[in-house]
Amino acid sequence: MTEPHVSVMVVDDHPMWRDGVSRDLAERGFEIRATSGDAVSALRIARTVRPDVVLMDLNLGDTSGVDASRQITQEIPGTRVLVLSASGEHSDVLEAVKAGASGYLVKSASVDELVDAVRRTAAGDAVFTAGLAGLVLGEYRRMAVSPGAESQAPQLTDRETEVLRQVAKGLTARQIANKLVISHRTVENHVQSTLRKLQLHNRVELARYAIEHGLDADGETGAEPG
């Protein structure tokens, strides 16, 4: 079965691995729009081809995949970064997420796991290898109780706040739609509206915002009706 049309750019400094991943994804119906072996060319090429997803290695020889991820997510808002790395070190995961990556997958993942992760990343989900999502949310909780957490919150509607609450719990857009008995498209519309209001880039940042404002636990929203 082929995947819905999703364009991908693969960034890895090992040609055999880069070509193998590109081939695996192309065979599953993804459009491989470009490949790159270093951070500098990755940014230049991504600006031109603007893929839906950049599959990014962190160790790119003399250059850093973290820096490339940060620049791509800042300069090309429509492109999401999914890290595919041999490292499962917590510090690497957190650095990648802080740089704007939407998810993090280790290279020991199966082809089916990779395909699912790319598809979900393109759809706007935050995707992590098992065990790493809890690490990221745990770090955000730690940061939320540190000095300097935001105190002034833009006004969200009740429905936007409820969708945001479910995002913080780690639910996918489809799971949120089923839980709230609304359409998948309506969920996506609320997510995009909330991203714009909060000036955030992806669901990982949304989850962080929700935790910082106590929205990862059930309770009264305090939001305006809508």
Of 120, 3, 2, the residue nearest 55 (C-alpha) = 120
Q: Sheet of 127-128: strands edge to edge?
A: 31-36, 7-11, 53-56, 80-85, 103-106, 127-128
E runs forming strands in 27-88: 31-36, 53-56, 59-60, 63-64, 80-85
> pTM of the prediction?
0.66
The predicted-structure confidence for 135-154, as pLDDT tens digits, reads as follows 665 655 565 545 444 444 46
The average pLDDT across 91-100 equals: 82
pLDDT at 7 over 50: yes
The pLDDT confidence band at residue 28, using thresholds 50, 70 and 90, is very high
The predicted-structure confidence for 63-88, as pLDDT tens digits, reads as follows 788 989 999 988 998 899 999 988 87
Pick the more confident residue, 156 or 35. Answer: 35
Residues 6+ apart with CB under 8 A from 98: none
Strand partners, 157: 224
Residues 6+ apart with CB under 8 A from 43: 68, 71, 72, 75
